[in-house]
Amino acid sequence: MGCGASSQKDAVGGPRRRSGSVGDVVVFLPGLRVPRSVDFAQALGGRLDSGIVERLSALRARVVEMAMQESAAALKPRRKTAARHGSSTANLLQALEDYLPVLLGLVKEGSLFRHAVQFTWTNQEDKAEETTMADAWYEVLSVLHLMAMVCLLQANALLLPRSYGDGYAPRVSEESRRATVDVFLKAAGYLDCAIRHVLTQLPPELRRQLPVDLAEGNLKALSLQALGQGVDMQLGLAIDSPKATLAVKRRLACEMVKYWQQVQESIPELPVSDGWGKKHRLFIKWKYVEAKAAAYYFHGLILDEGNTEKAHGMAIAALQASEEFLKESKRVSEAFHSTPPTSRSPTPFGTAKYLADKIPKDASSKVRINQDLYTQEKSLSCGICRVIGTPPPLPDFALALTPEDYDLPPLDPLWNKDDRRQ
């Protein structure tokens, strides 16, 4: 059997010591887990073909070096161009994809080497917070988790405003927003694979020793978070499209609410003393409330197209609810960015910018118009006043966005020959 060892703080979810700033944040991820060096030659030398040992050593050393560089860069509060950051994260993702087919040979059916190597990973926020396990499936799980986190770093870089040298202010292009949808789906796919095909390989006692980053609830929450932000990008693109109807926008907004609600239900209990845990929960709350503001806004506009006093009253209630949720989302956003490690909010774009511009104007104008209308008809007291303050229920739509299909890759051809030393 494999064994696990982790610091007491990690095992109980104690506070992480790192503070400071992490710069501009559009896509939040609770830190990177970085692999520590492993001596494959000492653990496997004389027992496994030297070519495989050398290949494992070279590929993992590359991953360690690049992950440490990315981790150090991610913690610096400086601005990085999307192209520059995208290149470094793409290289790390490729290194992980190259390593995985060779690593999987250690866990293939009948392998004698699954428990032969002690794998250690460290949380970037606290070098004392590391977990070591002598189980190659733990290494596979950690690799898939890092692949997903790298995708979220890529998405964050793509969604930072860039200058295009055309005389206009820095902005997030439509191309970047479309690209991030695919990146979010890829991240969700890696996490979904980790949950369905890797976690189940670990015995219950080892699963209980996993750090909170790799807990099933956290993996599921991060996968849903990626899907929720993917729908956010789709909604922003629909808002910009003259062909998208109000019904399409409402559906996307309502789906976004459901994703973030599921995130809240999935994420494990994180200690409030942990700055990163508190920050993660604030991010989820912020996006959940912001999604509600969008959903009630578009729902209110559709209800207002009705011809009855009741429909108009329900529209006003929905629009007023959207305005209150928008105000709350701003408060939670400020709390999120001010919670250590502090972060900055880039210039709003897409859904967030649209809502900030439209909700206050439309909510007040619709209320005024309908009040004037029904006051003239002397119907205000028996109609609208009864529904204001009680927003109508949101429509329930099936979730359309799903993780990208991802399966563990086939074994590297090196493993096709007899890998054991006789």
Instruction: Choose among 89, 292, 242: nearest CA to 180.
Output: 89
Q: Kindly state the average pLDDT of the residues 398-403.
A: 97
Return the axis-axis angle of helices 216-240 and 350-376, rounded to nearest 10°.
70
**Cβ–Cβ under 8 Å, residues 404 and 151:** no
pLDDT above 50 (res 386) = no
Does a structural domain hold residue 241?
Answer: no
Closest alpha carbon to 359 in 298, 289, 313? 298
Q: Are residues 298 and 206 in the same domain?
A: no
Structure confidence by residue, pLDDT tens digits, 326-381: 999 999 999 999 998 899 988 899 999 999 999 999 888 877 776 655 554 444 44
* pLDDT computed for residue 2 by the predictor: 46
The predicted-structure confidence for 203-245, as pLDDT tens digits, reads as follows 999 999 998 889 999 999 999 999 999 999 999 999 999 999 9
Instruction: Kindly state whether residues 99 and 195 are assigned to the same domain.
Output: yes
Inter-CA distances, 18 with 156, 332, 420, Å: 21, 22, 44
Domain assignment present for residue 412? The answer is: no
- Mean pLDDT score of the chain, rounded to an integer? 86
> Which CATH number fits the domain that encloses residue 378?
1.25.40.280
Instruction: List the one residue out of 125, 71, 68, 66 whose CA is nearest residue 97.
Output: 66
Q: Are residues 334 and 257 in the same domain?
A: yes
Q: What is the pLDDT of residues 130-171, one digit of tens each?
A: 899 999 999 999 999 999 999 999 999 999 998 888 878 889
Give the pLDDT confidence of 29-87 residue by residue, as tens digits: 887 899 999 999 999 988 999 999 999 999 999 999 999 998 887 656 444 444 445 57
* For range 275-301, the mean pLDDT: 93
Same domain, yes or no: 205 and 266: no
Is there a domain that residue 81 lies in? no
Tell me how far the alpha carbon of residue 350 is from its chain's centroid.
18
Residues 258 and 200 grouped into a single domain: no
Question: Which one of 173-187, 306-320, 355-369 scores highest in mean pLDDT?
Answer: 173-187
Domain check: are 305 and 391 in the same one? Answer: yes
Cβ neighbours of residue 274 under 8 Å, at least 6 residues apart?
13, 14, 15, 16
What pLDDT score was predicted for residue 302? 96
Q: Check whether residue 27 and residue 176 sit in a common domain.
A: yes
Bridge partners, residue 162, by sequence: 171
Residues 6+ apart with CB under 8 A from 232: 256, 287, 291, 350, 351
pLDDT value of residue 75: 59
Q: For residue 299, is it within any domain?
A: yes
Give the integer Cα–Cα distance in Å for 313 and 300: 10
Phi and psi of 335, rounded to 5°?
-65, -40
Domain that holds residue 323: 249-404
Whether residue 310 is contained in a domain is answered as yes
Residue-wise pLDDT tens digits, 239-272: 999 999 999 999 999 999 999 999 999 987 665 5
Same structural domain, 282 and 197: no
Residue 83 CB burial class (10 angstroms; 0-12, 13-18, ≥19) = exposed
For residue 363, which of 273, 284, 296 has the smallest C-alpha distance? 296
**Cβ 6 vs Cβ 212: under 8 Å:** no
Q: Residues 92-113: what's their mean pLDDT?
A: 96
User: Which residue in the block uniquely carries the two structure tokens 């699954």?
Assistant: 114
Q: Which residue type is seen at 157?
A: A
Q: If residue 101 lies in a helix (H) or strand (E), which one and from where to where?
A: helix 82-103
Based on the fold, state whether residues 279 and 150 are members of the same structural domain.
Answer: no
Q: Answer yes or no: do 137 and 209 share one domain.
A: yes
SS3 string of 297-343?
HHHHHHHCCCCCHHHHHHHHHHHHHHHHHHHHHHHHHHHHHHCCCEE
Q: What share of the chain is helix, strand, coil (3-state, %, to 5)?
A: 65, 5, 30
Q: What is the pLDDT of residue 375?
A: 54
Domain-embedded: residue 416: no
Contacts of 60 (CB under 8 A, 6+ apart): 35, 38, 40, 99, 103
The C-alpha atoms of residue 55 and residue 105 are separated, in whole angstroms, by 12
**Nearest alpha carbon to residue 273 among 32, 16, 75, 29:** 16
For residue 274, the model assigns a pLDDT of 60
pLDDT at 291: 98
What's the domain count of the chain? 2
Task: Verify that 305 and 385 share a domain, yes or no.
Answer: yes
- Do 29 and 146 reside in the same domain of the chain? yes
Peptide bond before 204: cis, by omega within 30 degrees of 0? no
220 found inside a domain:
no
338 is a domain residue: yes
Query: Residue 78 has what pLDDT?
Result: 46
- Neighbouring residues of 165: CB distance < 8 A, sequence distance ≥ 6: none
